[in-house]
């Protein structure tokens, strides 16, 4: 195989990619990278204004980018978004489910025990991460099933393998995302086409707006005790940055992974490999 063929694998010209939660830290970085690979990207978010910070970055890139309103938990908004994206960019070829997160009310602390976590907060976190992955797959995956081709990448978490302290709903929901990823990979390949692949990324400790309050001080400069413990147990000695997901993401989207489906790929700086000794 020549190098020209390998280079073409990562040329996404003519590919339409939807990113749910695309205005977030991780989703936004993915959008910019994919537009740079000549893809046509739809940033889908329930707060499109958050994506305005990305406009200057994507305007100079070779691909196209649009910002579309859509709530991962409201199917009717997803259907409307799919129609708009199909009109503006063409049929959706790839879906990245980056919508998700945790919230303080669903997190145990010295002031809030597990037994007192509000049901509403627990339901919100489970729904956001699990249903917020399943529902977009139903809406955007339908056309893939009809065409017999497509790629879906979900965002799981390393705490789907081993749950972290303090965040029971988030840990359980991400474990469910990993399980659903495997289920959907088999379902799509057997019922529709082996050319539809479904995989997931499992980030380790990445700083986002949802977890910053747990990992850094109020100024966001120094790690908390929890943050220091994480860094000490990460062989690479740091938190992950959004750009650290891009190489694995591009591989999963590209023909380079054409025989890969139903896997959850860790991106964790070695955290899961370290015994602590």
- CA–CA dist 115, 65 (Å, integer): 45
- In order, the DSSP letters of 228-266 are HHHHHT-TT-S-B-GGGGHHHHHHHHSGGGTT--S-EEE
- CA–CA dist 219, 213 (Å, integer): 10
DSSP state of 163: P
Whether 30 and 96 have beta carbons less than 8 Å apart is answered as yes
Q: How far apart are the first and last CA of the chain?
A: 43
> Which neighbouring-strand residues pair with 265?
201
Reading the block at residue 260, the tokens are 């890969």
> Which neighbouring-strand residues pair with 206?
240
Element (H, E) at 222: none
Query: Is 170 annotated in the active site?
Result: yes
Element (H, E) at 269: none
Of the residues 10, 69, 170, 213, only one is catalytic, namely: 170
Active site residues: 170
């Amino acid at each position: 195989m020549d190098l020209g063929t390998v280079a073409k694998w990562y040329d996404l010209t003519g590919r339409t990619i939807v990113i749910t939660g695309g205005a977030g830290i991780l989703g936004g970085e993915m959008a910019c990278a994919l537009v740079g690979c000549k893809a046509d990207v739809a940033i889908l978010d329930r707060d499109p204004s958050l994506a305005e910070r990305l406009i200057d970055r994507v305007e100079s890139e070779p691909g196209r980018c649009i910002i579309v309103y859509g709530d991962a938990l409201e199917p009717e908004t997803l259907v409307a978004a799919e129609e708009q994206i199909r009109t503006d960019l063409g049929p959706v070829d790839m879906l990245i489910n980056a919508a998700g997160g945790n919230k303080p009310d669903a997190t145990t602390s010295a002031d809030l025990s597990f037994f007192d976590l509000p049901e509403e907060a627990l339901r919100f976190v489970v729904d956001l991460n699990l249903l917020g992955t399943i529902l977009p797959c139903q809406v955007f995956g339908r056309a893939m099933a009809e065409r017999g081709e497509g790629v879906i990448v979900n965002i799981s978490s390393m705490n789907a393998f081993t749950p972290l302290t303090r965040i029971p709903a988030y840990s359980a929901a991400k474990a469910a995302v990993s399980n659903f990823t495997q289920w959907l990979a088999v379902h799509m390949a057997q019922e529709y086409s082996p050319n539809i692949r479904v995989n997931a990324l499992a980030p380790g400790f990445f700083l986002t707006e949802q977890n910053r309050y747990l990992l850094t001080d109020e100024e966001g400069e120094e790690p908390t005790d929890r943050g220091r413990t994480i860094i000490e147990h990460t062989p690479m000695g740091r938190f992950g940055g959004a750009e650290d997901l891009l190489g694995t993401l591009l591989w999963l989207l590209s023909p380079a992974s054409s025989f890969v489906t139903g896997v959850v790929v860790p991106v964790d700086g070695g955290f899961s490999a370290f015994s602590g000794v």
